[in-house]
């Protein structure tokens, strides 16, 4: 795995109520990732960008919702979500210490 590919795997952290609750309860962090990313690439990208140790990765595909704009039907894009479990003693802080 080259570093250029790993930099493109993680698209954004998911900061919702559910993901915050999961992070506080058990050291899982949720990310939006590239649709063709593998578990090993995701783990490598998190370790490279945040200097933490990854214990496990769970990945799921999210189907895009159908939406209507006037009379036209459209569809949002499908995307992929990853739950990254960190080893004990490691933590990622997206709040900036506030």
Tell me: the pLDDT tens digits for 36-64? 999 999 999 999 999 999 999 999 999 99
- pLDDT for the residue numbered 98: 55
| Residue stretches of the chain with pLDDT short of 50 | none
pTM beyond 0.85: the answer is yes
Strands annotated E in 1-98? 10-13, 28-33, 54-62, 66-69, 72-75, 79-86
Percent of the chain with pLDDT over 90: 82
What's the mean per-residue pLDDT of the chain?
92
């Amino acid at each position: 795995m080259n570093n250029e590919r790993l930099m493109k795997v993680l698209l954004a952290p998911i900061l919702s109520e559910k993901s915050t609750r999961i992070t506080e309860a058990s050291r899982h962090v949720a990310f939006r990732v590239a649709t063709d990313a593998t578990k090993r690439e995701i783990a490598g990208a998190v370790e490279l960008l945040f200097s933490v140790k990854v214990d496990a990765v769970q990945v799921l595909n999210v189907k895009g919702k159908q939406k209507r704009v006037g009379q036209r039907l459209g569809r949002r894009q499908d995307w992929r979500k990853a739950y990254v479990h960190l080893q004990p003693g490691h933590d990622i802080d997206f709040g900036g210490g506030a």
